[in-house]
Amino acid sequence: MKRPRWPLASIRRLLLLMLLPGMLAVTAAELWLSWTTANDAADAAYDRSLLGAVKSIDSSISTASGGLGVELPYRLLEFFELTAQGQVHYRVASEDGLVEIGSPDLPRPPRPLESGKPQFHDGEYLGQPVRVGSYARELAEPLAGQRPPQRVVVQVAETLEARNDFRRDLLLRSLARDLLLIVLATGLLTVSIAWAMHPLSRFRQEVEARQPDDLTPMSPDGVPAEVLPLVQAINRHVARAQEQAELRRRFVDDASHQLRTPLATLSTQVAYALREQDPAQQRPVLESIRAQLDQTIRQTNQLLSLARADSAPLDFQAVDLVWLAESVVRDGWHAARDQSVDLGLDAPARRLAFTGDADLLREALSNLVHNAIRHGGAGCHVTLSVRERVMPSGQREACLAVVDDGAGLPAADLERLGERFFRGSGAAVPGSGLGLAFVRTVAQRHGGELRARPGPDGRGLQVEMVLPLPAGGA
């Protein structure tokens, strides 16, 4: 799966571009709240002033003459107009509308009035938006010809210039404050991000200052907790690189160790053959050169196989270990017949499923079989057995064992079997000591191990490649 790539190369810019829209959204919400608060504050403040004008007019109402009379408080209305910074209109009327004083066309309240409770609402008068305060109370003495109770309605309306200026001023102040906070927050965020990124800059400088061959792990001291997984991943990668470098160095050492002597021998033999004039005397030398070349080719192939087993990625696939053992035995019949060795197979009549690299497993088993054929000697019996075992811990394992009844090895040699270039004491057959090292490497890379012990009844040798099987049935 391909990972998405960020279009931005800088973490600082990425964080800023992710946080700034959020800050702007919060600022927009805060401005909306400020506008709502300014509306409520303006209405609350100016409605109290409007109510004062309504109460003043109400206190000037008289019905002593039998009609409705109002002595307007002109000074108060002039002061109210100055405060409202606009025009002020009033209306005093009986509830039935038979008697009206002032502006009869003022917008009526949207809800029925309750006695003694003022009501404020927005409306339009003479083409201008206005704020209207309405108030109703019962008259102590009803108008002439009217039956009690009778109510009088007082309305005062003002234009909205002062209210709008008040709202605008509050909103502009909130906007200026929010912009200042955004600038300060952006600056603080930039400084904080730069400070938080300082350990990464120091880490980068430490990596750049290293020598090309320095593969020591990076120190996690002073690294933030969020960056620690990155340091650990780098250290794991460095460890793998160090392991690969060690494998390459080991391969070069192994190749130089194994090929230096055969090549020197070949050079000597070729020089001797060139000096020899008698063709009859040259033939034994050429045969010796051919045998040495065959041995060198075999050692080189084993070195390459061992290097591939050490470092090449495994091609995991489903493998039937019984079928694999059968094919290895079939391939080994000709070599066993040439050596007068009885080669056989002991395996269950069912599949034994395993997941691994089939080519490496086949080559490892072939090494075990051919090693037993070459060292067992004529008349020896070699058997490749396949078994499934269940350990006391419940772990299932497959045991691929090659058993022979040849001369065997001393107990001291059994402990070192599988080491590179180790050959058992008294070995009569030439070899490189890499075959079993290859088998052990293949077993270890599949999570298993190589085991060696004397054969049945203490005769010969039994070499096992033990591989772990998954839990459950085969």
Pairing of strands 381-390, 342-346: parallel
Which tokens in the block code for residue 417?
């079997």
Q: What is the mean pLDDT of the chain?
A: 77
| Mean pLDDT for the stretch of residues 51-72 | 74
> For the chain, what percent of residues have pLDDT higher than 70?
77
Closest by CA to 12, choosing from 163, 201, 183, is: 201
Per the listing, tokens 């096992």 go with 464
| Mean pLDDT for the stretch of residues 344-369 | 86
- Residue 67: how many other CB atoms lie within 10 Å: 10
Is 430 a residue whose pLDDT tops 60? no
Q: How many CA atoms lie within 13 A of 418 on its CB side?
A: 17
Q: Which CATH superfamily is domain 316-468 in?
A: Histidine kinase-like ATPase, C-terminal domain (3.30.565.10)
State residue 6's pLDDT score.
46
Q: What is the pLDDT of residues 372-421, one digit of tens each?
A: 888 777 888 899 999 988 887 778 899 999 988 877 776 666 666 656 55
Per the listing, tokens 């402990």 go with 415
Contact 49, 215 (CB under 8 A): no
Burial code of 291-313, b = ≥16 C-beta within 10 A, e = fewer? ebeeebeebeebbebbbbbbbee
Q: Which three-class secondary structure string do you get for 133-144?
A: EEEEEECCCCCC
SS3 category, 359: helix
Is 424 a residue whose pLDDT tops 70? no
State residue 323's pLDDT score.
92
Q: What is the pLDDT of residues 125-169, one digit of tens each?
A: 888 888 899 998 888 777 766 677 778 888 888 888 877 887 888
Is 368 a residue whose pLDDT tops 70? yes
If pLDDT is split at 50, 70 and 90, which confidence band does 256 have? low
| Mean pLDDT for the stretch of residues 172-199 | 81
If pLDDT is split at 50, 70 and 90, which confidence band does 83 have? low
State residue 418's pLDDT score.
55
- Residue 107: how many other CB atoms lie within 10 Å: 16
Is 172 a residue whose pLDDT tops 60? yes
State residue 326's pLDDT score.
92
Q: How many CA atoms lie within 13 A of 70 on its CB side?
A: 20
Which tokens in the block code for residue 389?
């075992």
Q: What is the pLDDT of residues 306-353, one digit of tens each?
A: 566 566 677 788 889 999 999 989 988 888 888 888 899 988 878 888
If pLDDT is split at 50, 70 and 90, which confidence band does 428 have? very low
What angle do the packed helices 321-338 and 358-376 form, to 10 degrees? Answer: 30
Q: What is the pLDDT of residues 189-233, one digit of tens each?
A: 778 777 877 777 777 777 778 777 777 777 777 777 777 787 888
Decide which of 6 and 467 is more confident: 467
| Mean pLDDT for the stretch of residues 450-466 | 84
Q: How much is the CA Rg of the chain, to the nearest whole Å?
A: 51
State residue 298's pLDDT score.
65
Is 20 a residue whose pLDDT tops 60? yes
Fold of the domain built from segment(s) 228-311: Helix Hairpins (1.10.287)
State residue 33's pLDDT score.
83
State residue 57's pLDDT score.
78
Distance CA 122, CA 216 (A): 78
Contact 259, 298 (CB under 8 A): no
| Mean pLDDT for the stretch of residues 253-277 | 70
pTM of the model: 0.45
* Sign of the dihedral through C-alpha 291, 296, 301, 306: positive
